[in-house]
Amino acid sequence: METAEIRRRFLDHFEANGHTVVPSAPLISPDPSLLFTVAGMVPFIPYLTGQQPAPWPRATSVQKCIRTQDIEEVGKTTRHGTFFQMNGNFSFGDYFKEGAIAHAWELVTGSQDDGGYGFDPGAIWVTVYQEDDEAADLWRKIAGLPDERIQRRGRKDNYWHTGQAGPGGPCSEIYVDRGPQYGPDGGPVVDEDRFLEIWNLVFMEYELTDVKSKEDFTIVGELPSKNIDTGMGMERVSYLLQDVDNMYEIDQVYPVIAHASELSDKRYGADHGDDVRMRVVADHVRSSLMLIGDGVTPSNEGRGYVLRRLLRRSVRAMRLLGVQDRVLPELLPVSRGCMQAAYPELESDFDRISSVAYAEEDAFRKTLQTGTQIFDLAVGETRATQRSVLPGETAFKLHDTYGFPIDLTLEMASEQGLTVDEGEFRRLMEEQRERAKADARAKKAGSSATAAYRELRETGPTPFTGYTELETESRVRGLIRDGESVPGAGEGEIVEVVLDRTPFYAESGGQDSDAGRIRGDGFELEVLDVQRPMKGLIVHRVRVRDGEVASGRTVHAAVDQEWRIGACQAHSGTHVVHAALREVLGPQALQSGSYNKPGYLRLDFSWGQALGAATRSEVEEVANLAIRRDYPVSAAYMPLEKAREIGALALFGETYDEEVRVVEMNGEWSRELCGGTHVQHSSQVGLVTLTGESSVGAGSRRVEAFVGIEGFRHLATERALVTQLADLLKVQPEQLPDRVERLVTQVRDAERELAKTRAAALGSRAGELAGSARDVAGIGFVGFAAPVGSAADDLRTLALDVRGRFGADRPAVVAVAGTSDAGRPSVVVAVNEAGRDRGLKAGDLVKVAAQTLGGGGGGKDDVAQGGGSDPEAVDAALAKVEQAVGETATRGS
């Protein structure tokens, strides 16, 4: 069962049981104490603790997670991974232990035909907290588990908390017995390799304090409500259901290993050291793909540093495998192919993701080339002096000059049997930071603005008159071209003009600059842009449309009235949408950025998940109701402290003067620090039509909207489109959804009939194929490339049918069928009993084919299935299997 299918079944199961499906929050944690989302419950902490009312009584999600504390262990064991997915279901004061256990048992042991995972009930063991008699009784009642498969454990194993004061409670863990080949009998308390945990059900009901360790804490009381928080490890369930040995061999990971093996010409499974490097590559490439997808970019701090480290460890591991060429352009697309079924946004955003990753590899390749030489020299000098500690000065030079992260230097030194003087390295780094701060202060006070701007500013600030008027009599204070003051400019030239007062709004606070004209005696200027290159100075970028302009000339500055009306509508509309988001989603939906111009606005805000259609509709309705209610819009200047006291919202990261301008709509409904231009009443905004909602990085969303007449035009365009479709399909507009649904159903039915026809045609060839078998070292071998578009299930049926048509005269049979469907190749291998007696195993043979296809596969000894990413390699894969059959049969004889 593919991982994407495991994901789908989990969400479908809980949605059918009344849970709201909540999209995964971004990998960037909204919790400032965490770099990343490290567990499935992190986005739900405010609801589980009662800090905020939950939007739903019960929810389910598949949460993307990153844990970085075990980076050095990745690949060395088959348990440690950086990126993983946590399936969870949550109850916020709704059902409790009985519901959690019943839901879990139904999914885990339910038949695969009915949407379950199909685990053998006889292979399921559970653990409960040693004092939790209720949970033990429920496992007996609901699942019928005998006492010997319900094991009790203490706080260390079966009591959950966050590691700090907050919510907690006993938990019950579900284990699967993998069989005696994986370890001794006796349940999880004896061996957790054989008995593998797949799901933890946390019964969160207590408030904890004085948390010193996993076992040392104090229970101070009950939570306001009893909550359920569960976590099922997606990767663990995947490798159990895919019948592979570990998480690195599942369908979302192994194809990267297979491709790394092909690039390096190193066989996976032949050498432990090489296997470790390939697993590092597979894990880190996937983790990097997901991090960049959520907006993380490589840097030397925080999340960016973790990403940089993952990418560089991937590249270096491939170099240690002998691959000197660029590797991420080879490996990253393979990982995308593995993950996009579950995360389709990776496909649409891959250009951005890949450009970030490839640029980092290119930079690191240059770093490695020069830095490694320095490192090798330093190692030689250290050993020549009989020392075992690499100087901190060398580590600092590698970091400062060649971009070597200290972790890479530590790793490389460890591989050479050396350590690094980290104390000296840290001291030199701190000295560098202090120098950088001093330089920044000097630059800020010195040459941050050009001399021309500075000279003009020294004559005084530029008063902005545009709050009360659109036309102003003024004087040209100066002209600048290419950073230099000039006395004048003629027709066709583009220059910067500074006036002694202006009604033109300079771009700031998300609002685009005004448009308009500046006229004087014998000349006219078109205003192209207006900026504040330094505090207090407003600069107009203009094109001289007619005549000649010179410094000192008197002018009439006039803002385009229609432009300003549209700008005011858009900026006030931005405030309206911000207030509507906070009303619908809560105060945490705080603006983090915006841009608006006549007819259009976009607003970025803090939020960890996509807004559903119903939520977007509600936000739009709240915004337009505020417009219809004709709220008064006012602006007032006041001290910053007073603005904070009355709750005026400020844009995070912005700096403000002690005297600020506060814009209000209906008092506290919308109260923000803002220097922009606005309408006088909310009704003047006209109309807000939301047109899009998207992610702009982890923990941040973006809404876009048309405003005023542009909003009307957008709706008119949509109405025309609906009318066109209705005319085309000859139905009334309100009948369109039903009509389109019927058409889609008809197409699907036709596709199913076509598939049946293909299957029948394929099945009719079984006898012909059996008759064309070739003798390969005494084995009857049939290799068949089915027509493109053949379903994988049909391949399986065909291979089994061919295998079954051989008589007693050739008892040992291997049947292989391969095809490509929608660009995804697949292969099925079937081996009869006599063939298995000769040492031939379908699971081994299908892996041979899958590696050639650029993928993975597995199954039982009699029949196995695999796939890959290279549809052109089907014939080569069949040939590889034939070769492997001959080699195995020859060895066996």
Residue with tokens 């190193």: 266
According to DSSP, the residues that pair with 543 across neighbouring strands are 494, 526
* CB contact at 8 A, 91 and 57: yes
Please name the residue ranges forming H helices in 345-501: 345-348, 350-384, 392-402, 406-415, 422-445, 451-458
* CB contact at 8 A, 822 and 855: no
* CB contact at 8 A, 443 and 520: no
Q: Determine the 3-state secondary structure of 248 from DSSP.
A: helix
CA-closest candidate to residue 593, choices 706, 705, 703, 710:
703
Tokens of 369: 């080339």
**Is the dihedral angle over the CA atoms 471, 477, 481, 487 positive or is it negative?**
positive
Number of H helices, E strands in the chain: 26, 33
3-state secondary structure 541-591: EEEEEECCEECCCEEEEEECHHHHHHHHHHHHHHHHHHHHHHHHHCCCCCE
The C-alpha atoms of residue 464 and residue 502 are separated, in whole angstroms, by: 5
Tokens of 627: 């417009």
Tokens of 628: 């219809």
284 is annotated as contributing to ligand binding: no
Strand boundaries in 164-249, DSSP class E = 166-177, 195-209, 218-233
Q: Determine the 3-state secondary structure of 150 from DSSP.
A: strand
First to last CA, the chain: 35
674 is annotated as contributing to ligand binding: yes
* CB contact at 8 A, 130 and 153: yes
The C-alpha atoms of residue 3 and residue 241 are separated, in whole angstroms, by: 9
Angle at alpha carbon of residue 56, lines to 50 and 62, rounded to 5°: 95
Within its chain, how far is the Cα of 481 from the centroid?
A: 45
* 789 dihedral zone (left: phi>0; alpha: psi -120 to 50; beta): left
Buried (b) or exposed (e) across 610-643, using 16+ Cβ within 10 A? bbeeebbebbbebbbebbeeebebeeeebebeeb
* CB contact at 8 A, 527 and 518: yes
Run of H or E residues at 877:
helix 874-892
The C-alpha atoms of residue 214 and residue 231 are separated, in whole angstroms, by: 18
171 is annotated as contributing to ligand binding: no
DSSP string across 609-672: SPPPHHHHHHHHHHHHHHHHTT-BEEEEEEEHHHHHHTT-B--TT----SEEEEEEETGGGEEE
19 is annotated as contributing to ligand binding: no
Chain length of the chain: 893
Within its chain, how far is the Cα of 146 from the centroid?
A: 42
CA distances from 641 to 644, 651, 666, 670, 835 (A): 5, 15, 21, 18, 84
Run of H or E residues at 124:
strand 124-129
Helix axes 328-339, 254-264, angle to 10 degrees: 160
* CB contact at 8 A, 593 and 510: yes
Radius of gyration of the chain (CA): 33
Binding-site residues for Zn(2+) sit at: 571, 575, 674, 678
Binding-site residues sit at: 571, 575, 674, 678
